[in-house]
Structure 1
């Protein structure tokens, strides 16, 4: 796999992303701490760190990731310094991907035939850290095209068609830069924090 990632502050800088690799198994986690609540950034940081550390240790199926997100939800709720956060976690291995999510961050497969929304079935709320989140699975499926995982700072401000086109153009580094530019205002400022990971199979 080849990945490129960027995290750019638009305002509160509460987005987080992390990746881990163990052999041919990659784990990608991305989170957006809830604005307007104290501890959002801490919740996002704790969530992504915990997910990639677990993914480095073992391979879980999609149901296993849902169970782990539910456990994390309770752990964050019990931690006074942490607020609430969205969370997407995706494992990639042997040409397949799967995972789980909650909130309005998202994951897509970008392909010549159009985008496949991997997180279309997720619940926007309650978020992780509320003690009541309802994680949705990302079913195991072939990794066709490129894998895009991003917060709503990107997905909310670019259309699916634009996202799909830009994410497929050039190498993964230049595609990530083009996506961030597409989400920006004419002034160049971002309307929200952005975290994005783009990956593809190599060889």
Structure 2
């Protein structure tokens, strides 16, 4: 039940071999904290490179495994990075702020926030998804941006932190019906059940 599910799904999409290391939330292992001083998951180590933060992990793995076609060609990278980092920044900030009860009504103060306000962020997300030309956010095929935005939407719709909108539900259904998503969820659910 963590952002580690996003990294697992991304790893499944790449087709790469990987090992999973469980982390105890209450007593974090010193070796893990040495790799990620934040003590948070997900954290990956690939060829000696430590990568943390879900959007960074998605972008890194897409580039590290180009045969999976999870990063679009150069001309589509603007839309790709925009979607990845919109979800990592404004969307997550807006959803978290709303969940914590932090509402800033003053438009001048909203300008200090990376997301402005919750409604504008959600409306912008709907515009990004509805405007996706081939049904995908950044290319004519599924990319890491679709995975990352889809994971945020799936979580938010499931727990009510993102409002139900038809375009969101259709997008989530589309991305989570992928074989790699289904495999990743089954592996995570089995690991959770065994805990």
Greater helix proportion? 2
Give the number of the structure whose alpha-carbon radius of gyration is greater: 2
TM value normalised by structure 1: 0.31
Greater strand proportion? 1
